[in-house]
Structure 1
Amino acid sequence: MSKTSKKVIISCAVTGATHVPSMSAYLPITPAQIRDQAIEAAEAGAAIIHLHARDPVDGRPTPDPAVFRQFVPDIAKATDAVINITTGGSTRMTLAERLAYPRLLQPEMCSLNMGSMNFSIHPVAAKITDWRYGWEKDYVEGMEDTIFKNTFSDIKQIMLELGAQGTRFEFECYDVSHLYNLAHFVEQGLVKAPFFIQAAFGILGGIGADPENMSVMRATADRLFGRENYHFSVLGAGRHQLSLVTMAAILGGNVRVGLEDSVYIAKGVKAESNAQQVRKIRHILEELSFDIATPAEAREMLGLKGGDKISP
């Protein structure tokens, strides 16, 4: 591997579509909040900024390009971080809604969920007694009876349409089967190495947060793709975030943090910003003698087209 490939890429998922405002007063929901937290996270060391949008009035997930345009151009002007736009949106959105902004932006990178699945945090509803907005309770409880739809046809459409624009993907794999789904598309010639595989642990409906599962995912990816052909990254949901991503770096991988994945900075302590999580994992990694990849180095590692090729 090249020298730069040994550096650790820190991704930051700023707000997501799973957590609701009642879970944390620090979850960014307005365009200004998302913009400011994304810029601060980039300044703290995140080379990749993973972005969703929310309705500025009540914080519900939205695919509206007009909302994205209230913060993405500002982030692009203020930082050289890689802008990574979701194609997952939320479990309630249609594929056309999920693709609305990526089609316009033609970003360097988009997330791409690699299979349909149960995807839920519905047990959290029982722990919340004071809901900030009227939509939240039904949204969280409704996850118990909702499928996150990512069919082979959906995945193929995203690969073909956005791939033609030069967009590369953060392949979000929530279980071992998702790695095999990715291998299917590799065999079809729809995606080319180097692959950026984001292994997600601890989501109800996906693979558990047991450390042993990381070894299974890593070994399976090695067998399917060859370690020289992909970059492994890990996100840990909730309380598992920092321990699992630290383990990922020790195993030669990259890390993702952010309020999309966990609203905590320590046991029982809410993170006050995305940058706080970035600073903490950066400190841990540097104490372990890891070098942190800059955005330019991340672009080289992942074969991205460059921030000057997007249209914010």
Structure 2
Amino acid sequence: MQDTIIITCALTGAGPRSKNPAQPITPQQIAQSGLEAAEAGAAILHVHVRDPRSGEFSGDLALYEETVGLIREQNKDVILNLTTGLGSGYYPKDPLLPREPGPASHIWTPEKRVEHVLRLRPEICTLDLVTAQVFGGIVISTEQVLTRMATLVRDAGVKPEIELFDAGDAVLAKHLMARGVLDGPGTFSFVMGLDFTMPADAETMMYMRDRLPAGAQWQGFGIGRNQLPMAMLSALLGGHVRVGMEDNVFISKGVFADSNAQQVRKVRRMLDDLGSTAATPRQARSILGLTA
């Protein structure tokens, strides 16, 4: 277990809108929620945006510009991590003959998927090495698309947080490093307990940790009720932690979280009880090898 542990707060996500009325939707709500989470102890804010009218996920560049601008106006220290996960969802027109995309599909070019990253230049963006069945569809990530995305964000000076959803994703990550597409040893996230991806349990987290290149930084995080158990397990096994309303809209069984900051405060207290301290943004930059 590390003495100093980075807390990432994932503010809203791209999954179906929850029934929690406190889930941030508009740029103003997402930014304010992020600022409060940073004040509570999150060194990194993981940012998605949503359509203010429907509440559904969005890739609208203007929404990212507004959200990031509002955060940076009031807090230039917190580290921003923008998603690039959208644009890979395939929902077949006929599930029994899945050769044609249905209207819910969102398959974008690599350039479109990282457009907001190239414009806003956060310090971190995600790179999801996943092909899996989630949210009733199929997320598709080909080596060619990932190579192009990784090249674009590297040229922009942005560090990828490599998201792994299953064991084969770690193999792919090492392959991309061997090809020079990704820089090692890398920063990784294990997405645990999401539909038909890796399960959220101790055996899987240890297995995934042991598949990483030597010296890699990592965090394992759980979806839904697995959030806090996986956060503590990640800390105990030498990783960092992630909480937030992207992953879980509850603060305890049957009780909605009233904010992202509430989740950050809770996990920070738990880390304090274990004898670790939450990293400041400056410390997080040093740990992750980011330019100060």
Conservation of the 8 A alpha-carbon contact between 2:12 and 2:246: yes
Is 1:278 the equivalent of 2:278?
Answer: no
**Higher mean displacement: 47-56 or 74-83:** 74-83
Counterpart of 2:64, as a letter, is: F
Question: What's the CA shift string for 1:76-123, capped at 9, x where partnerless?
Answer: 232211110000026343244422211211221001101211122xxx
Is 1:18 the equivalent of 2:4?
Answer: no
Q: CA deviation at 1:55?
A: 0.8
Counterpart of 1:86, as a letter, is: T
Is 1:113 the equivalent of 2:104?
Answer: no
Equivalent residue of 2:29, what SS? helix
Match of 2:167 in 1: 176
Distance 1:274 1:106 in 2: 24
Distance 2:32 2:218 in 1: 28
Q: CA deviation at 1:18?
A: 0.8
Conservation of the 8 A alpha-carbon contact between 1:47 and 1:82: yes
Distance 1:194 1:298, change over 3 A: farther
Picking from 33, 36, 39, the partner of 1:40 is 36
Picking from 191, 204, 210, the partner of 2:201 is 210
Equivalent residue of 1:71, what SS? helix
Distance 2:291 2:61 in 1: 22
Q: CA deviation at 1:258?
A: 0.5
Distance 2:40 2:264 in 1: 6
Counterpart of 1:282, as a letter, is: R
Is 1:85 the equivalent of 2:100?
Answer: no
Correspondence list, 1:1-312, <5 A: 6-21=3-18, 23-79=19-75, 80-89=77-86, 91=89, 92-93=105-106, 94-95=108-109, 96-120=111-135, 143=136, 146-221=137-212, 225-226=213-214, 229-306=215-292
Distance 1:25 1:162 in 2: 34
The structure in which a higher percent of residues are helix is 1
Equivalent residue of 1:286, what SS? helix
Distance 2:79 2:28 in 1: 19
Q: CA deviation at 1:6?
A: 4.3
What is the aligned-residue RMSD (CA, Å)? 1.4
Counterpart of 1:273, as a letter, is: S
Q: CA deviation at 1:249?
A: 0.2
Provide the TM-score with structure 1 as the length reference.
0.84
Q: CA deviation at 1:194?
A: 4.2
Distance 1:305 1:194, change over 3 A: farther
Match of 1:139 in 2: none
Counterpart of 1:98, as a letter, is: R
Distance 1:151 1:9 in 2: 30
Distance 1:267 1:88, change over 3 A: same
Equivalent residue of 2:278, what SS? coil
Provide the TM-score with structure 2 as the length reference.
0.89
Q: CA deviation at 1:169?
A: 1.1
Q: Aligned pair count?
A: 272
Distance 2:123 2:3 in 1: 21
Distance 1:54 1:27 in 2: 11
Counterpart of 2:114, as a letter, is: L
**Higher mean displacement: 186-195 or 238-247:** 186-195
Q: Percent of aligned pairs with the same residue?
A: 36
Distance 2:201 2:286 in 1: 32
**Higher mean displacement: 42-51 or 185-194:** 185-194
Conservation of the 8 A alpha-carbon contact between 2:28 and 2:70: no
Distance 1:19 1:285, change over 3 A: farther
